């Protein structure tokens, strides 16, 4: 199976501060993989290291068998990697259209138009809000816009950090269904989720992080139904060390 992402022995953090300890993780072509784990265990940091936003200390990151360890974000985007951050993922003072155009910086205008068309098809709600300020969108609409913006560059691998956080149950389902459907367009997905059950229900596999390490990995099915793993779920919404 072709691995879109293969991470081995990853150590990283912020400057000299180490947060992640020897992470091994992979995403196969067409997979939906979910990372879960308590607050503060390093899930967001992991995605940021992968996207070149914070320090990789050690280990290897391969994208489609090319070593991209330590690459800059813009080069990763050109390779087809995209990322939707957990917070501040839209520019509130810009219109929806302007936000989408920001996602297409450096692309040909024909590619940007195609990207915007794709987003409108996926999220019709966005289509009718093109000239509204992003600040005026609901939480769910903002998340749709953030995902749409990440998709403008036509990625083949998308990472999302807690895409359903603070959304109503209806939007949680809708957003996860949309993310799931990206696979039909050949996009492989790595999601960090606090709504573990909801995300795992759509995932092929999952990883459980704790204190900067992978403490369990397996099929989503196993994580959802193995009673031994249930204890991790119970602690999921409490901070590390509490
Ligand atoms: N910019 C930063 N500088 C230094 N430490 C940080 C920074 N951001 C997060 N951390 C620390 O990194 C650890 C992991 O945080 P994070 O990756 O956000 O966890 P999670 O996403 O699993 O909740 C926490 O101890 C947090 O305090
Ligand atoms: Mg986080």
- Enumerate domains of the chain plus CATH numbers: 1-79+186-242 (3.40.50.300)
Check pocket membership of 135 for ligand 1, CB cut-off 6 A. Answer: no
* Residue 1 confidence (pLDDT): 73
Decide if pLDDT at 237 tops 80. Answer: no
* Residue 69 confidence (pLDDT): 97
Question: The pTM is what?
Answer: 0.93
pLDDT in tens, 117-165: 988 888 888 889 999 999 999 988 999 999 999 999 899 999 999 999 9
CA-nearest residue for atom 17, ligand 1, is: 42
Mean pLDDT for all residues in the chain: 91
Distance 135 CA to ligand 2 centre (A): 22
Distance 45 CA to ligand 1 centre (A): 6
* Residue 234 confidence (pLDDT): 53
Of 10-24, 94-108, 191-205, 225-239, the poorest mean pLDDT is in 225-239
How are strands ordered across the β-sheet holding 32-36? 81-84, 157-161, 188-192, 32-36, 205-210, 213-219
Ligand nearest to the CA of 39: 1
Provide, rounded to the nearest whole percent, the portion of the chain with pLDDT above 90: 74
List, as one string, the DSSP characters of the chain. Answer: --EEEEEEEEEEEETTEEEEEEEEEEEETT-EEEEE--BTSSHHHHHHHHTTSSEEEEEEEEETTEE-TT--HHHHHHHTEEEE-SSS-S-TTSBHHHHHHHTTTTS-HHHHHHHHHHHHHH-HHHHTTTTSBGGGS-HHHHHHHHHHHHHTT--SEEEEESTTTT--HHHHHHHHHHHHHGGGGT-EEEEE-SSHHHHHTT-SEEEEEETTEEEEEEEHHHHHH-HHHHHHHHTTTSBTT-
Distance 225 CA to ligand 2 centre (A): 24
Mean per-residue pLDDT, 173-200: 93
pLDDT in tens, 223-234: 988 877 876 665
Mean per-residue pLDDT, 54-82: 96
Check pocket membership of 40 for ligand 1, CB cut-off 6 A. Answer: yes
């Amino acid at each position: 199976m072709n691995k879109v992402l293969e991470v081995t022995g990853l150590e990283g953090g912020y400057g000299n501060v180490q947060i992640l300890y020897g992470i091994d993780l992979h995403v196969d072509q067409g997979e939906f993989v979910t990372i879960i784990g308590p607050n503060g265990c390093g899930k967001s940091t992991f995605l940021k290291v992968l996207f070149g936003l914070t320090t990789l200390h050690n280990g290897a990151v391969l994208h489609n068998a090319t070593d991209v360890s330590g690459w800059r974000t813009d080069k990763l985007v050109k390779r087809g990697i995209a990322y939707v951050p957990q917070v501040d993922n839209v520019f509130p003072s810009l219109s929806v259209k302007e936000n989408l155009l920001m996602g297409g910086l450096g692309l040909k205008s024909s590619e940007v138009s195609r990207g915007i068309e794709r987003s409108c098809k996926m999220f019709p709600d966005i289509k009718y809000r093109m000239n509204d300020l992003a600040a005026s969108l609901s939480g769910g609409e903002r998340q749709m816009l953030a995902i749409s913006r990440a998709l403008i560059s036509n990625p083949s691998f998308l990472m999302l950090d807690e895409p359903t956080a603070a959304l109503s149950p209806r939007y949680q389902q809708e957003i996860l269904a949309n993310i799931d459907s990206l696979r039909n367009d050949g996009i492989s997905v790595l999601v960090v989720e606090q709504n573990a059950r909801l995300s795992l229900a759509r995932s092929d596999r999952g990883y459980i992080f704790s204190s900067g390490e992978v403490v369990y990995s397996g099929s989503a099915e196993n994580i959802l139904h193995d009673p031994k793993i249930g204890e991790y779920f119970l602690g999921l919404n409490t901070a590390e060390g509490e």
